[in-house]
Structure 1
Amino acid sequence: MSGNGSTLCFVESPVQLLNVLEWAHRAEVTATVVVLSPTDPMTRGQLRRMAELARGEGHTVRWEEARGGPGAPFQTIGGLAGPLRRAERIVIGDPFSRYVQLLLTITRARDLVVVDDGTATMEFISQLARGERLVRWHRRGGRPGPRDIVFGPVSSSARRRLTPRPGRRTVSLFTSMPVDETPEDVAVLANDYAWTRARFGPPRLTRGADLVGTSLVETGVVDLDRYLQAVRELSRAHGATRYFAHRRESSDKLHRLAVETGLEVVRPDLPLELIARRGPIGRTILSFPSTVVHTLPIALAGTGVKVAVCEIDPSWLTQGVSDHAQGFLAGIAGSARGVRMV
C-alpha cells in the first residue's frame, strides 16, 4: 500500500472498520482510522480486535472515548478539528450518526467516501437520491423529536456535504448492498470482500447449520416471544446447532434463547464475515433479514456454504411499527443475491 496521510476515516462499529479495510485494500492506501468508541462492551471488544487488524495492515488507529462523559464530545471534536481541516479525503461508515454529521461540518475535504454500515446504506442512498432528511429506517414514519429539531441544521449541512459538487467535491459509495437509486454524480464502487477473502479461510465446514441472530427485538421492531418462537422453529426445521449473536443482543434474551431452544449461543469477537471465513462454519447459514444476507454470499463465494434467509412475518412486529419499516425488511430479504428463502 502507498502512504496517504491525508485520508481520515471515522468508524463507530466493527463492520464499519472492516469495510474501511476493504476500501483501503482496493484503493491501495494507508489511512488514519479514528474510532469513535461506543459504550457497549461487546462492540468495544470487537472494535479493539478490528483495530489490531487495521494496525497490522499499516494503518494508524486513533481511539477516541467519544462518549466517555458529558465533556467527551467537546474534547473529541476539539482534538479532531485540525486533522479534519487538513484531510484531503474523509471516509465515513455511518452518515446517520450525529457525531459524524457534526464532524462533516468542520472538514474541507474535497473527496468523501461512504463505506457500508450494513443495510442502513440502502436507506441512506435512497434518501440522498430523493433529497430527504437523513433518518434511520426504523425511526421513519414518526414525528421528529426535540433533539431531531435542535440537530436539524447540522443534519441538513451534513446532507449537503454528502452531495457531490462537480469540480469541487466528489462523493463515492463503497458497498456490497444492492443500489437501485443512485444520486446524480455519486460514484458506486462494489465491495467484493477481497481483503477478507485474501486474509481468512477458506473455512472448514461442519455438517449442521448455523443461525445468525438479529437485534430487531432490541430496536423495538420485533416482539421477543414471537422471535424466540421463530428461532426455535427454524433451528428444528434445519438442524441448526449454533446461534451467532448480534453484538447488540441483550444477555437476558440470549440466556432465555439458549434455555428454550437448546442452541449454543456464540458471541463473536469479530464481524461475522471474518468469523465465517475463518471457520469452522455450518454448510448452511440461516439468517433473518440483515446485512449478512448480502455480505456472506460474497465473502464465502466458492466455499460451498449456502446462505438462507427467513422473512419476518408481519405478525411478529411490535405495535406501532411503520409500514416503511415493514417494507424495508421485506426489501432486504427480497433483494439479496445468491441466497434462498426459507
Structure 2
Amino acid sequence: MTPHTLAFVESPVQLLNVLEWAHGPGADPGPGPDVSLGSAAGPGSDHGLGSVPGPDPSPRPEGSGPSPRPEGPGAWLTLVVLSPTDPMTRGQLRRMAELAREEGHEVRWEEARGGATAPLRTIGALAGPLRRARRVVMGDPFSRYVQLLLTITGAQDLVVVDDGTATMEFVAQLARGERLVRWHRKGGRPGPRDAVFAPVSAVARRRLTPRTGRAGQAERRVEVFSSMPLAEVPDGVTVTANDFAWTRARFGPPRVISGADLVGTSLVETGVVDRDRYLDAVRALAVTHGARRYFAHRRESTDKLHRLAVETGLEVVRPDLPLELIARRGPIGRTILSFPSTVVHTLPLALAGTAVRVAVCDIDPAWLTAHASPRAQGFLSGVTGTARDVQRLARTAQPG
C-alpha cells in the first residue's frame, strides 16, 4: 500500500490551509490507499491516537459540495492535531476538525501538551507512521514539536502550508541558511532552551532543504503552499499559490452590511506593541471609520478585550472559526479594518468577487515596546507594503 500522507497542525489557520492544499490540483493523493495510524476501531474511526473532542458536527454551510478527491474517511490524508492548551484555539480546532471530516479526511487528535509525559507518548505513537509516510505536510516549521517530528520522518515530499505571515520569514531564513526563529524573537539572545534544542532545529532545517541525488534526480522535494508574497525562495523549493479556492467554493458568498468591522491582533500579547497605544489606536479607528464589531484574535487576553469593549464601545466577537471563513459566511461589514497581519493578504482572496474592501493601518514606531525585536518594525512594514488589493490608511489613527 502507498504510505500515508500525514499533516501536522497546531492552529485553526494551519488546518484551514491544509484543506486548501488538499483541494488543489498539486495535492496528488497517490495511486493507492493509505496506511492507517493504527486505529483498532476500523476505517474512519477516531479512536486510534485519540478522538477529537468537542461539539456536535457543524451544520453544512452554504456553497458547493466538498472536494471530490477523497473517497471516504481517511482516503489519503490524515490530519494530526497537536493540540495546544489555549481554550480558544482548541475550540476553533474542534470546529475545523469537523469540517475536515466532512471533506472525507481522517482526523486524529493528540493531547500533545497534556502533561509532562505527553510529548513522549505523542512522539512514540507517531514514530512508526512518520517513518512510513510518503509525504508530510506541516503548518509551522518553527514549532519545536514539528522540528522534532521532522528528525524522525524519512518522507521524500515535505509540504509547508501557511501559518500566516510567519511563512514569509521562514522562507527567507531558509534561503539565507539562517537558524529558524520567529520574527518577533529575532535579534534577541537565545535562551538556555534554544541552546539545548539547537541540534534538533538544525536537523529540521536540513530536512526542509531540497536534495538532489548524483543522477540529478530529486531525493527530497519541498513545497511551500502560500498566499503570502515570498521575496526570497530557496533553490529547489516549489511555491504553490493558495487562492482560497476551497473556502470560496464551500462558503458564501456573504451578506455584506453597511459600516466597518475591525480585526484584532495579538501584537500586544507577543510583546511587540504597547497595550495603551494599541487601545488608543483601536478607538481612533473605530471613531474614524464607524466600526461596530471587533473580531478578536484567538490569542488576545480576556482582560485586554474587556477593557477594549468598555473604552471603545465596540462589540467584541470571539470567532469560532478562522476569520477567512467567518467573513466568507457573513454577514460582514463593507469595510474590514486591520493592522499588519496575515488577513491583509488572505481576506482579499477569500472575499474575491464581493463588495468588501480590506483596509490596513500601519503600526507607528512609537507604539512598539522597549522589548520589541529590532526586526519588528521592518517586518510589519513589509507585511503591509506587500499586501495586494488593500487600501492603505493614512496615519490619522495615531493615538494622541
TM-score by structure 2 length? 0.84
| Distance in 2 separating the partners of 1:319 and 1:37 | 32
The alignment partner of 2:137 has SS state of strand
Q: Residue 7 of structure 2 aligns with which residue? A: 9
- Partner residue of 1:108? 154
Gaps of 5+ in 2: 30-75, 213-217, 394-400
What secondary structure sits across from 2:321 in the alignment? Answer: coil
Mark the CA change 1:67 to 1:194 in structure 2 (over 3 Å): closer, same or farther. Answer: same
Distance 2:361 2:376 in 1: 16
Alignment of 1:94-243 (within 5 A): 94-166=140-212, 167-243=218-294
In structure 2, C-alpha distance between the alignment counterparts of 1:31 and 1:300, rounded to whole Å = 27
User: Given the alignment of the two structures, is residue 262 of structure 1 paired with residue 260 of structure 2, yes or no?
Assistant: no
Matched length: 340
Name which of 65, 87, 102 aligns with 2:133.
87
Within-5 A mapping of 1:12-31: 12-26=10-24, 27=27, 29=29, 30-31=76-77
Q: For residues 16 and 299 of structure 2, what CA distance do their matches in structure 1 show?
A: 17
1:168 alignment partner, SS class: strand
Q: Which residue of 2 aligns with 1:321?
A: 372
Distance of 1:15 and 1:320 partners within structure 2? 27
Alpha-carbon distance in 1 for matches of 2:92, 2:23: 20
The one-letter code of the counterpart of 2:263 is: V
Matched, 1:283 2:341: no
Residue by residue, what CA displacement relative to the aligned partner does 1:231-262 show, whole Å, maximum 9, x if unpaired? 00001000000000000000000000000000
Amino acid in structure 2 at the alignment position of 1:33: L
State the alpha-carbon separation in 2 of the partners of residues 67 and 28 from structure 1. 32
Describe the superposition over 1:62-114 as per-residue Cα deviations: whole angstroms up to 9, x where unpaired. 00000000000000000000100010000000000000000000001000000
CA distance in 2: counterparts of 1:82 and 1:182, whole angstroms: 32
Q: Distance in 2 between matches of 1:84 and 1:69?
A: 23
Aligned to 1:134, what secondary structure does the other structure show?
coil
Cα distance in 1 between the residues matched to 2:285 and 2:384? 16
Query: Which secondary structure does the structure 1 equivalent of 2:333 belong to?
Result: strand
Q: 3-state DSSP class of the match of 1:42? A: helix
Asked if the contact 1:5/1:31 (under 8 Å) is kept, the reply is: no
AA at the equivalent of 1:12: E
* Partner in structure 1 of residue 396 of structure 2: none
The whole-number CA distance in structure 2 between the counterparts of 1:128 and 1:263 is 41
Alpha-carbon shift at residue 156 of structure 1 (Å): 0.1
Q: Which of 382, 387, 390 lines up with 1:331 in the alignment?
A: 382
In 2, Cα distance between equivalents of 1:312 and 1:35: 33
Distance (whole Å) between structure 2 residues aligned to residue 165 and residue 316 of structure 1: 43
Equivalences for 1:245-256 in 2 at 5 Å? 245-256=296-307
Deviation at 1:322, TM superposition (A): 2.7
Query: Equivalent residue of 2:219, what SS?
Result: coil
For residue 374 of structure 2, what is the amino acid of its counterpart? D
Per the alignment, in what secondary structure is the counterpart of residue 193 of structure 2?
Answer: helix
**CA RMSD of superposed structures (Å):** 1.0
SS of equivalent residue, structure 1 residue 206: strand
CA contact under 8 A between 2:305 and 2:316: conserved in structure 1? yes
Superimposed CA distance per residue, residues 101-155 of structure 1 (whole angstroms, 9 cap, x where no aligned partner): 0000000100000000000000000000000000000000011100000000000
Give, in whole Å, the separation in 1 of the partners of 2:243 and 2:267.
26
The 1-side partners of 2:207 and 2:265 are apart by 32
Q: 1:25 to 1:95 in 2, by over 3 A?
A: same
Distance 2:243 2:114 in 1: 35
Greater Rg by CA: 2
C-alpha distance in 1, partners of 2:356/2:180? 36
Percent identity between matched residues is: 78
Query: Does the Cα contact within 8 Å between 2:175 and 2:235 map onto a contact in 1?
Result: yes
Asked whether the 8 Å contact 2:3–2:132 carries over to 1, the reply is no
Q: In the alignment, which residue of structure 1 is the partner of 2:108?
A: 62
Is the alpha carbon distance of 1:149 and 1:268 closer, same or farther for their aligned partners in structure 2, counting shifts above 3 Å? same
Q: Is the 8 A contact 1:7 1:31 kept in 2?
A: yes
Greater displacement, 201-210 / 317-326: 317-326
- Runs of 4+ residues over 6 Å off in structure 1: none
Between the aligned partners of 1:161 and 1:317, the Cα distance in structure 2 is 35
The alpha carbon displacement at 1:323 in A equals 2.5
Separation in 2 of the partners of 1:162 and 1:103? 12
Q: Which residue of 2 aligns with 1:293?
A: 344
Report the AA paired with residue 75 of structure 1.
Answer: R
SS in 1 for 2:336: strand
Cα distance, 1:5 vs. partner?
5.7
3-state SS of 1:302 partner: coil
